[in-house]
Amino acid sequence: MQLYTDAATAPDNHQSAAGILIIDQGQQHQFKQVLPNSDNHTAEFLAAIAGFKTLLDSYGSAVSVFFYTDSQIVADSVAKGYSKHYAVELATLLHLQDQCQLVVTQWIAESENHGAHQLAQQGLHLKH
């Protein structure tokens, strides 16, 4: 199973939204979700959290997941199990990941995350 997440944040008012793309046996499942107003880094963590909540709610915990994010800080924090500025968000994310059988986190370039990015942009427009 593959999980792609991305966040979009409006620079003028900090409105944020998440794009979540789950690929299960070749089938795409698309979700967009309004997030609390935040800066972009916080929104990336919140998008990842929303992605894992959606995944666990939809498929249960008996899943192995390739998790793709274009947020370097999210990928690095997960790999290290530590974040100075986003400790609460990281703890929540790691707790959700621990409920899965296996999670492989992979940073990808923004250009490879179009599906989740488009969903996040669409989610941003839900707030207006």
> What's the pLDDT tens digit per position in 3-18?
999 999 998 999 999 9
Residue with tokens 């994010």: 69
**Phi, psi angles (nearest 5°) of residue 25:** 50, 45
Tens of pLDDT, residues 17-69? 999 999 999 999 999 999 999 999 999 999 999 999 999 999 999 999 999 99
Helices (H) and strands (E) in the chain, counts: 4, 5
Residue 2 has φ and ψ, to the nearest 5°, of -120, 140
Which domains occur in the chain, in start order? 2-22+29-80+101-110+119-126 (3.30.420.10)
pTM above 0.85, yes or no: yes
Phi, psi angle pair for 97, to nearest 5° = -60, -35
Please, which residues have CB within 8 angstroms of residue 100's CB and are 6 or more apart in sequence?
Answer: 52, 55, 56, 61, 63, 64, 65
